[in-house]
C-alpha cells in the first residue's frame, strides 16, 4: 500500500477531570491502555493509544484534565494537556452529559478558541441521564463552548454510539504512513504500565486526600529465580504520615488488598506468575519538588 493510500493522525482527547476520557480511550483502542477510577485527575501523563484499521491508523492522546493547578505537578499536567491540544490533528472535547457545563468546561472551551484543528464534541455518560429529556438542553449548552464540526452523545462505559464518532474521525485523517507497528497499542513500556496499575488500585481503595498525594515507582523489575516468574518491588510515595497510615490500613490490610488486586492484573499483563513486594514511604510535598517530579517521570 502506498503512502497516499494510507491515512493516519493524532487525535487529542481533552476535557475537565473525571468526564471519562480514559474510558473512552480504552474503548476506541479496544483494550486497556489507561487506568480509570472515579477520582478526578486520575490521568497524570499524556498516554498514547493506537487504533489500527484497514488502510489507516488513529493515534489517540489521552490528556490530564483541565483543572486549577494547585502545585507544580498540577501545572505540568495542565500544560501537557494544552500542548497536546495545540499539536493534534484533530481534537475531541469530552464532556459529562449528566449535568450542564461547569466553569471548568468553559475554561476548556476558551482554550479551544485558539486551536485550529477540527474540533468534535463528545457528550459522554448518556446512559446515566434520567430523564432522557434532560440531555438535549445540556448538549445545546455544550455546543456553545466552541465551534464544533459534529456532536456525539455516547456512553464510553457501555460502548454505546461509538461507531459514528470513529467514522467521523476516520473521514478527517490525512494521507500518511503509520506511526506505530501493527502490534503496538500504546507508547507505555511495561514498567510504566505496572506503576499505573498499582496507582489505579490505590485510587480505588482510598479516598479523601490520599489519591492525589500518591505516586508509584518500581525499584526492581526482573525475572524471578524460576523462569516462569517475575519479581517486582514497588514503592508507593505519599506526602504525610497520616496518608501512609490510611494506605497501609489496620494490620496492613489495605496495602495487602491493593497488592493482591495489582498482582492479578500484572500477571495477566506479563503472562507469568509475579512476586510483588510493595512498600509505602513518606516524601513530603513531592508534588511541588522538581527533582522528585523528574524522578517519578512527571517532567
- pLDDT category of residue 209 using cuts at 50, 70 and 90: low
Helical packing angle, 162-171 and 21-29, nearest 10°: 80
Whether residue 240 has pLDDT greater than 50 = yes
Distances (CA, A) of 264 to 1, 259, 270: 41, 9, 10
Pick the residue with more confidence: 95 or 43? 95
- CA-nearest of 162, 160, 190 to 60 is 162
Please state the rounded mean pLDDT for residues 221-233.
91
**41 confidence band (pLDDT: 50, 70, 90):** confident
Distance CA 269, CA 266 (A): 5
Across 150-169, average pLDDT? 97
| pLDDT more than 70, % of the chain | 98
CATH architecture of structural domain 190-295: 2-Layer Sandwich (3.30)
* Residue pLDDT, tens place only, 131-148: 999 999 999 999 999 999
Task: Select the CATH number that applies to the domain covering 7-175 from these four: 3.40.50.300, 3.30.70.270, 3.40.50.720, 3.40.640.10.
Answer: 3.40.50.300
Q: What is the predicted pLDDT for the residue at 2? A: 47
Q: Of 43-47, 122-126, 226-230, where does the model show the most confidence?
A: 122-126
pLDDT score at 191: 93
Q: Residue 221's beta-bridge partner residues? A: 232
49: pLDDT strictly greater than 60: yes
The structure's pTM equals 0.90
Cβ(93)–Cβ(87) below 8 Å: no
The tens digit of pLDDT for each residue in 80-126 reads 899 999 999 999 999 999 999 999 999 999 999 999 999 999 999 99
Contact 291, 299 (CB under 8 A): no
Task: Determine how β-strand 90-96 pairs with β-strand 273-282.
Answer: unpaired
Residue ranges covered by each domain of the chain: 7-175, 190-295
Is the pLDDT at 207 greater than 80? The verdict is no
Amino acid at each position: 500500500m502506498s503512502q497516499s493510500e494510507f491515512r493516519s493522525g493524532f487525535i487529542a482527547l481533552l476535557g475537565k477531570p473525571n468526564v471519562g476520557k480514559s474510558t473512552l480511550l480504552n474503548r476506541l483502542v479496544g483494550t486497556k491502555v489507561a487506568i480509570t477510577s472515579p477520582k478526578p485527575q486520575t490521568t497524570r501523563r499524556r498516554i498514547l493509544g493506537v487504533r489500527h484499521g484497514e488502510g489507516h491508523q488513529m493515534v489517540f492522546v489521552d490528556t490530564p484534565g483541565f483543572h486549577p493547578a494547585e502545585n507544580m505537578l498540577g501545572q505540568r499536567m495542565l500544560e501537557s494537556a494544552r500542548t497536546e491540544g495545540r499539536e493534534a490533528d484533530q481534537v475531541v472535547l469530552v464532556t459529562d452529559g449528566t449535568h450542564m457545563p461547569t466553569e471548568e468546561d468553559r475554561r476548556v472551551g476558551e482554550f479551544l478558541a485558539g486551536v485550529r484543528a477540527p474540533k468534535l464534541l463528545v457528550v459522554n455518560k448518556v446512559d446515566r441521564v434520567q430523564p432522557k429529556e434532560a440531555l438535549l438542553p445540556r448538549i445545546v449548552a455544550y455546543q456553545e463552548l466552541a465551534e464544533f464540526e459534529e456532536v456525539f452523545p455516547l456512553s464510553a462505559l457501555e460502548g454505546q454510539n461509538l461507531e459514528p464518532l470513529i467514522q467521523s474521525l476516520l473521514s478527517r485523517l490525512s494521507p500518511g504512513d503509520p506511526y506505530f507497528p501493527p502490534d503496538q497499542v500504546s507508547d507505555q513500556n511495561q514498567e510504566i504500565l505496572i506503576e499505573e496499575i498499582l496507582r489505579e488500585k490505590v485510587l480505588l481503595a482510598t479516598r479523601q486526600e490520599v489519591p492525589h498525594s500518591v505516586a508509584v515507582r518500581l525499584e526492581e523489575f526482573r525475572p524471578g529465580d524460576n523462569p516462569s516468574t517475575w519479581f517486582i518491588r514497588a514503592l508507593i510515595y505519599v506526602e504525610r504520615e497520616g496518608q501512609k497510615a490510611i494506605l497501609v490500613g489496620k494490620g496492613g490490610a489495605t496495602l495487602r488488598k491493593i497488592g493482591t488486586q495489582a498482582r492479578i492484573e500484572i500477571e495477566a499483563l506479563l503472562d507469568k506468575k509475579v512476586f510483588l513486594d510493595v512498600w509505602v514511604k513518606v516524601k513530603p510535598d513531592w508534588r511541588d519538588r522538581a527533582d522528585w517530579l523528574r524522578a517519578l517521570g512527571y517532567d
